[in-house]
Chains A and B, each alone.
Chain A
Amino acid sequence: MEEAYAPPHKDTLLLVEDLRVHFRGHDHVARAVDGVSFDVHTGETVCLVGESGCGKTVTALAILGLVPIPPGVIASGKIRLRDTNLLTLTEEGLQDIRGNQISMVFQEPLTALNPVFTIGDQIMEAIQVHEKVSENERRRRCIGLLTDVGIPSPEARLKDYPHQLSGGQRQRVMVAMALACHPALIIADEPTTALDVTVQAQILNLMKSIQHASAMSVLYITHDLGVVSTVADRVYVMYAGLIVEQGTRDQVFQHPRHPYTRGLLASLPSRSKRGKRLYSIPGSVPNPAFKPKGCPFHPRCSAAIAECAVDFPGMCDYGHGHLSRCPPVYSRERQE
Chain B
Amino acid sequence: MFSFIGRSIIQKTVTLFFVSVISFLIIHLAPGEPSQVDPMNPKFTPEMVERFRQEFHLNEPLYTQYLLFYQDLFTGKIVSWKDNQPVLAKIWERFLNSLPLFIVGTLLTWTLSFPVGIRSAIFRGGIYDRSATFFAYLLISIPGFFFAYVLIIFVVTVFHVPVIGMETFGMGAASWPHLFMDRVWHLLLPSVLGATGGIAVLSRYVRSQMLEVEGQDYVRTARAKGLAPDQVHYKHALRNALLPFVTMFGLILPGLIGGSVIIESIFSWPGMGRMAYEAILARDYPIILTVNFLSAVLVLIGTFVSDLLYLMVDPRIRL
Contacts and interface: CB of A to CB of B under 8 A. Distances in A.
Interface of A: 64, 66, 70, 91-92, 95-100, 103-104, 106, 108, 111-118, 125-126, 129-130, 161, 163, 174, 177
A163 B228 CA distance: 26
B217 A112 contact: yes
Contacts of A66: 220, 223-224
28 contacts: A66-B220, A66-B223, A66-B224, A91-B229, A92-B228, A95-B226, A95-B227, A97-B226, A99-B225, A99-B226, A103-B224, A108-B217, A111-B217, A112-B221, A114-B222, A114-B236, A116-B239, A116-B313, A116-B314, A116-B315, A117-B236, A118-B315, A125-B225, A129-B225, A129-B226, A129-B227, A177-B221, A177-B225
B240 A114 contact: yes
Nearest to B316: A163
B122 to A, nearest CB: 13
Given A112-B220, A116-B240, 5 more contacts: A98-B223, A100-B226, A104-B221, A114-B236, A116-B239
A104 B224 CA distance: 7
B218 interface: yes
B38 to A, nearest CB: 60
A98 B226 contact: yes
Given A114-B236, A114-B240, A161-B316, A106 B221 contact: yes
A114 B221 contact: yes
Given A106-B220, A113-B218, A114-B236, A96 B226 contact: yes
Interface string B228-241: 11000000100110
B75 interface: no
B157 interface: no
A113 B240 CA distance: 12
Nearest to B224: A104
A115 B236 CA distance: 10
A104 B125 CA distance: 29
Contacts of A112: 217-218, 220-221
A335 B222 CA distance: 52
B218 A111 contact: yes
Please classify the interface of chain B as helix (H, G, I), strand (E, B), loop, or mixed, using the class held by over half of its residues: helix
A106 B217 contact: yes
Most buried by A among B227, B229, B243, B313: B227
Contacts of A111: 216-218
A162 to B, nearest CB: 9
A95 B222 CA distance: 11
A125 B228 CA distance: 12
A11 B68 CA distance: 92
Nearest to A97: B226
Contacts of B221: 104, 106, 112-114, 174, 177
Interface in B36-79: none
Contacts of A114: 218, 221-222, 236, 239-240
B314 to A, nearest CB: 7
Contacts of B228: 92, 95
Nearest to A127: B225
A125 B224 CA distance: 12
Most buried by A among B125, B222, B225, B316: B225
Nearest to A108: B217
A195 to B, nearest CB: 15
A97 B225 CA distance: 9
B225 A126 contact: yes
Contacts of B236: 114, 117
A97 to B, nearest CB: 7
A174 B218 CA distance: 11
A113 B224 CA distance: 12
Q: Which 5 A-B pairs have the closest CB atoms?
A: A99-B226, A98-B226, A111-B217, A99-B225, A114-B218
Nearest to B242: A116
A13 B109 CA distance: 53
Contact of A99 (B218, B224, B239, B316): B224
Most buried by B among A92, A97, A104: A104
